[in-house]
Structure 1
Amino acid sequence: MSKDENDWPNWPYFDPEMLEAASAVLKSGKVNYWSGDIHHLEDGTDVRGENGLFEYEFANYHSSKYAIALANGSLALELALLAYGIGPGDEVITTSRTFIASASCVAIQGALPRFADIDRESQNLSAETIFPLMNKKTRAIIPVHLSGRACEMDEILSLVREKEKEYGHRIYIIEDCAQALGGEYKSRKLGTMGDAGCFSFCQDKIITTGGEGGMLILNDETAYRKAWSYKDHGKNFDRYNLELKHPLAAPERENTASSYSSVGSNWRMTEMQAALGRVALKKLDNWNLKNRRINALYLEEALNKINGIKVYSPPKHISHAYYKQNATITGTLKADWPRERLINECNAKGLPCTYGSLWGISTEDAWKKIRLENGIEEAILANDIKIGQSNIMFQVHPTLTVEHMQATARILEDVMSQAID
């Protein structure tokens, strides 16, 4: 594929079925979370509108009890922490190699984000890197399944359960699955092993609901009721869900003059977003993830033949979702060939290439005030910096073909031959 021929298909991609689904909602005029029709499902469940159907289908896909559709994935993280009562005086451990929302959600609740280093191969935090930061103030862990590759969850869960016994309180695990929809760890869907799973449907994620969108999945009834109410202005859960015959809605609790049982905000998803999400979810396994894996595995084999490049394979117990394909520059670049030039050369030749996820977010000024207030000075995270400065990332989304992967390998090999000693 030459430069002139190298017309890379767009992602996100909205097929005719998705466009029709969103258009049908617009034509109906029922565009708001509360304006949709009530649907009576075969199992006896009643749900309202496209949002209700999307939540129901998303929860079923994950074998989760509850799902809450939201305006974006950042709100899913915030809502999970809020639902479990994380706040001032608490510490929450997460990674420094991630989008800033994985940590800012903690500060927004008044808690202190603590940053663990990463494992060099997986680029994820691990039980080993989490352990040094744990103390009696630790109330939650936010493992980020970066680029679709699962953290080693059994090891993290084991450490957390051990520390819960030592400290005498719960430590919640909030899985950040923004880049990992459909991924699995030992045949368990990512987002289902902790206390909450948080998903993003922003722009180029594995699926998108028109540019923004998110979902929170939970199994705890109390946390679900609290989260459901907060995302909708603090509405009285029982009063607003009795019409749907929700199994958690209790008539005896509904008999109150108050329509709003708590203070909340408006974090709802629109009906158009939900309609897009439903179609995308239906095609997730048999088209989206299937083609991502074909592309990523081809690319892994091809890139590992290039001098100075290494792609790390996940272990067999991890089913990678492949949001993107990471590669590490292991060769020594020439003095006049910094990574930025390498990336720019790839793009100039028609190959979309970036440095990948943010890194070093622990050094951002955003944390200065809260660290000063808590007397905390974060350590240098050596692996985070090392990987952050040597990673490059390539597209593997499902509208691409093996021919695009061949072009990726060919262009990168040409550029690397010029860039390394």
Structure 2
Amino acid sequence: MIPLLKAAIGPDTLERIADVLRTGMIGHGPVVEEFEAALGARLGNPYVATVNNGTSGLHLALRLAGTSGTGDGREAGLDAARDEVLSTPLTFEATNWAVLANGLRLRWVDVDPATLNLDLDDLAKKISPATRAIVIVHWAGYPVDLDRLREILDAAEAAHGYRPVVVEDCAHAWGSTLRGRPVGGDGENICVFSFHATKHLGTGCGGMLTLPDERSYERARRLRFFGIDRRADRVNGNYDVPEWGYNFYMDQISASIGLANLETVDERVEQHRRNAAFYDAELAGVPGLELTAREPDRESSCWLYPVKAEDRPSFMRKMNDAGIMVSMLVRRNDTHGAVRDVADPALPGLDAVHDRIVHIPVGWWLSEADRAHIADTIKSGW
């Protein structure tokens, strides 16, 4: 079976892990700091805080977006009974469950059927005086138009006197660029990356936040470790915790895996792009199949390759019978029982594509024969 996802192991991973084990310092330590410095250099943003997984990063990002950092963090922050967070329903549940975990109120924004990202036109219509934060997802690595988003936020600020905080879910987007700028590196929004084992840049289990300024960066560093500044004098108990935090820090073994994978991640991203370009050419015009959008001003990381197939069950059976793993990967979040109390607006864009979306293998592990087999199987019909 040709796999849909696969974990990459860097060339000197075992040696790096052994070095950490020999030090006896397995929790937070200098290898984590080395990894953070390398990540910041890659993205051009020094305000990088690693965490133990991407879900923790999203939870922490919503905490940063919704609180002021004074007292218990609620006086100038989000009020779940009054304020809302706008988000996409087409994502892995972690994106939106982080909103709920912070006790905040969700409101759905429709999906652009061409890109499968949040529909910016619908977003512009739904921003209101109650909107305090917006969560976007760069689905499959295809960047949301952040410049257009900035214009929408400018207009919202002028109309309502408040600029909603943006949290970018970059779980798929390591290596993605918009108009030559790396996603997560512009220093404008709070960006969250996943380093799950199957991502382009994997640490086994891990993640990171990139922050827009030093103040939010310092808060993130404290809040990921119970609200404690690790640089404080804890030996004699001479430190203060101004606001409580979490047990979200990254460990040294994860960081060592990440440093090893960082050496080869660019090659993996490029291989995904080459495979995606092959599909773009081979699958264009196949009856019953629609490809997602490609714009010349942005480069997707192509972590996934989504297609929109008529009669999806038959398509999936055909692929499975041919030894090709495919998957819907996610279910629309707005239909889960956990969010039954969220207002149910019309989402015509999502309705138009949800039952057709399926992902085919596009990864670095594919041989030329593999990807030809995948394309030929699709072109033969289902």
User: TM-score w.r.t. structure 2 length?
Assistant: 0.90
3-state secondary structure, aligned to 2:167: strand
Change (3 A) 1:240 1:319: farther
Deviation at 1:9, TM superposition (A): 9.4
The residue type paired with residue 106 of structure 1 is: V
Deviation at 1:385, TM superposition (A): 2.5
Q: 1:22, 1:275 within 8 Å by CA — same for their partners in 2?
A: yes
Identical counterparts, % of pairs: 24
Structure 1 vs Structure 2 CA RMSD:
2.2
Alignment partner, residue 317 of structure 2: 344
Alignment partner, residue 349 of structure 2: 383
Measured against aligned partners, the alpha-carbon deviations of 1:310-369 in whole angstroms (never above 9, x if no partner) come to 22341000111001111112x5x4xxxxx223213311211111124x242112111235
* Count of aligned positions: 368
Deviation at 1:238, TM superposition (A): 5.6
Q: 2:4, 2:362 within 8 Å by CA — same for their partners in 1?
A: no
Q: 1:177, 1:191 within 8 Å by CA — same for their partners in 2?
A: yes
Among 332, 341, 351, the residue aligned to 1:360: 332
Among 113, 121, 125, the residue aligned to 1:120: 113
Q: 1:10, 1:399 within 8 Å by CA — same for their partners in 2?
A: no
- Quote the Cα distance in structure 2 between the aligned partners of 1:366 and 1:202: 25
Alignment partner, residue 164 of structure 2: 171
Q: 1:87, 1:110 within 8 Å by CA — same for their partners in 2?
A: no
The residue type paired with residue 317 of structure 2 is: N
Measured against aligned partners, the alpha-carbon deviations of 1:99-135 in whole angstroms (never above 9, x if no partner) come to 1121111122121111111111111113202022211
Alignment partner, residue 193 of structure 2: 199
Change (3 A) 1:15 1:277: closer
Among 216, 219, 224, the residue aligned to 2:209: 216
Are 1:79 and 2:60 matched, yes or no? Answer: yes
- Quote the Cα distance in structure 2 between the aligned partners of 1:59 and 1:411: 42
Deviation at 1:192, TM superposition (A): 3.1
- Mapping of residues 296-307 of structure 1, within 5 Å: 296-307=276-287
3-state secondary structure, aligned to 1:389: helix
- Quote the Cα distance in structure 2 between the aligned partners of 1:145 and 1:176: 7
Q: 1:148, 1:181 within 8 Å by CA — same for their partners in 2?
A: yes
Q: 1:236, 1:262 within 8 Å by CA — same for their partners in 2?
A: no
3-state secondary structure, aligned to 1:205: coil
Q: 2:4, 2:361 within 8 Å by CA — same for their partners in 1?
A: no
Are 1:395 and 2:368 matched, yes or no? Answer: no
Are 1:260 and 2:251 matched, yes or no? Answer: no
Q: 1:91, 1:111 within 8 Å by CA — same for their partners in 2?
A: yes
The residue type paired with residue 345 of structure 1 is: K
- Quote the Cα distance in structure 1 between the aligned partners of 2:240 and 2:44: 31
The residue type paired with residue 328 of structure 1 is: K
Among 50, 53, 56, the residue aligned to 2:31: 50
Q: 1:176, 1:191 within 8 Å by CA — same for their partners in 2?
A: no
- Quote the Cα distance in structure 1 between the aligned partners of 2:139 and 2:175: 13
Which structure ranks higher in relative contact order (CA pairs < 8 Å, sequence separation ≥ 6)?
2
Change (3 A) 1:296 1:218: same
Q: 2:4, 2:360 within 8 Å by CA — same for their partners in 1?
A: no
3-state secondary structure, aligned to 1:307: coil
Deviation at 1:66, TM superposition (A): 0.8
- Quote the Cα distance in structure 1 between the aligned partners of 2:364 and 2:376: 20
Q: Which runs of 5+ in 2 are unaligned?
A: 68-76
- Quote the Cα distance in structure 2 between the aligned partners of 1:219 and 1:8: 37
Q: 1:292, 1:396 within 8 Å by CA — same for their partners in 2?
A: yes
Change (3 A) 1:80 1:10: closer
Deviation at 1:32, TM superposition (A): 0.8
3-state secondary structure, aligned to 2:280: helix
Q: 1:80, 1:196 within 8 Å by CA — same for their partners in 2?
A: yes
- Quote the Cα distance in structure 1 between the aligned partners of 2:191 and 2:49: 11
- Quote the Cα distance in structure 2 between the aligned partners of 1:27 and 1:347: 45
Alignment partner, residue 288 of structure 2: 308
3-state secondary structure, aligned to 1:11: coil
Q: Which moved more, 1:227-236 or 1:83-92?
A: 83-92
The residue type paired with residue 352 of structure 1 is: M
Deviation at 1:403, TM superposition (A): 2.0
Among 289, 305, 308, the residue aligned to 2:269: 289
Q: Which moved more, 1:266-275 or 1:11-20?
A: 11-20
Higher Rg = 1
Runs (4+) off by over 4 Å: 6-10
Q: Which moved more, 1:219-228 or 1:17-26?
A: 17-26
User: TM-score w.r.t. structure 1 length?
Assistant: 0.82
Measured against aligned partners, the alpha-carbon deviations of 1:211-237 in whole angstroms (never above 9, x if no partner) come to x21100012222112111111011136
Change (3 A) 1:179 1:159: same
Q: Which runs of 5+ in 1 are unaligned?
A: 1-5, 37-48, 242-254, 334-338, 372-376
